[in-house]
Amino acid sequence: MSEQQQQQPQFGIEKIYIKDLSLEIPNAPQIFLERENPQIEISVHTAASPLEQAGLFEVVMTVTVTAKLGEKTVFLIEVAQAGIFQVLGLPPQEVDAVLGIMCPNTLLPYAREAVASLMARAGFPPVLLQHMNFEAAYHDRLRQLQQEQAARAAAPN
């Protein structure tokens, strides 16, 4: 690779895969006889970590979908959708932004399909994950970290 190629910013998708997948229907088969619509809660968490080879990172998006009827759990689905991404030629702050915004945007359609498919196989109508603004979430997280650092710096020892 030439010196000019090494300095050019590069982004690549090496691999997309499901790292973990689980489904629980603790109250089956009785829960299938319920006629009420369950309350559905969706949470999404992303994490990135560098791999041994320089410029490669694993990003994992964990989506948890929980459906409840009162105190009874109808189902619990957890999908850890992952990818290995190559990010080269960027300063550390920009690498962090790519890992926190671009990579989750890449993984979301795969996580959406995995959740919908698993729900259908479990016998429930699909819940479609809506588009998410990972850029806003990334900037919120940065602001929160800065506020925490400022509070620690201002706190008396």
97 found inside a domain: yes
Give the tokens for residue 156.
């008396």
| Backbone phi and psi for residue 17, each to the nearest 5 degrees, phi listed first | -155, 160
From first CA to last CA, the distance across the chain in angstroms is 50
* 30-34, 73-77, 104-108, 147-151, range with the lowest pLDDT: 147-151
- Pairwise CA distance, residues 152 & 157, whole Å: 9
40 found inside a domain: yes
Q: What is the pLDDT of residues 135-144, one digit of tens each?
A: 998 888 889 8
86 found inside a domain: yes
Q: What is the pLDDT of residue 17?
A: 98
Q: Domain of residue 150: give its range.
A: 7-154
Q: What is the pLDDT of residues 107-134, one digit of tens each?
A: 999 999 999 999 999 999 888 888 889 9
147 found inside a domain: yes
- What is each CA distance from 68 to 72, 79, 92, in whole angstroms? 5, 18, 42
- CATH number for the domain spanning 51: value is 3.10.420.10
**Are the CB atoms for 79 and 115 separated by under 8 Å?**
yes
* 15-24, 32-41, 143-152, range with the lowest pLDDT: 143-152
2 found inside a domain: no
1 found inside a domain: no
- Pairwise CA distance, residues 81 & 17, whole Å: 6
Count of domains forming the chain: 1
